[in-house]
Amino acid sequence: MENRLVNIGFGNAVKVNRILAVVNPGSSPIRKLKEEARQEKKLIDVTEGRRTRAILILDSGHLILSSVQPETINQRLMALEQDQRHPELVVGKAQATGA
């Protein structure tokens, strides 16, 4: 999964191997972490003005605000992992859809 990207909304993508965690923004410690990242200029907002539903924590210390639900991002990550483990299924999907 080294060069794989996961869609985090509005055409934005993040390298899968850089993601440490996908968290819900509601808890007090996460809000504090978000404020610290803002002060350190390590906060990336890709919500396009919408409500923040997930925060991705990267290995570089950056935080990415996304308007996509954490569960949706996790499902996308799981699908990418499954595609890597079973590449024959990806080929089968492409043939079934005519791609």
Q: Residues 63, 46: contact at Cβ < 8 Å?
A: no
**20-54 residue pLDDT tens:** 999 999 999 999 999 999 999 999 999 999 999 99
CA distance readout (Å), 4 to 14, 16, 82: 8, 6, 12
> How far is the first Cα of the chain from the last one, in angstroms, to the nearest whole number?
22
The residue among 90 and 83 whose pLDDT is bigger is 83
Locate the domains of the chain by residue range. 5-97
Q: Distance (Å, rounded) from C-alpha 37 to C-alpha 78?
A: 27
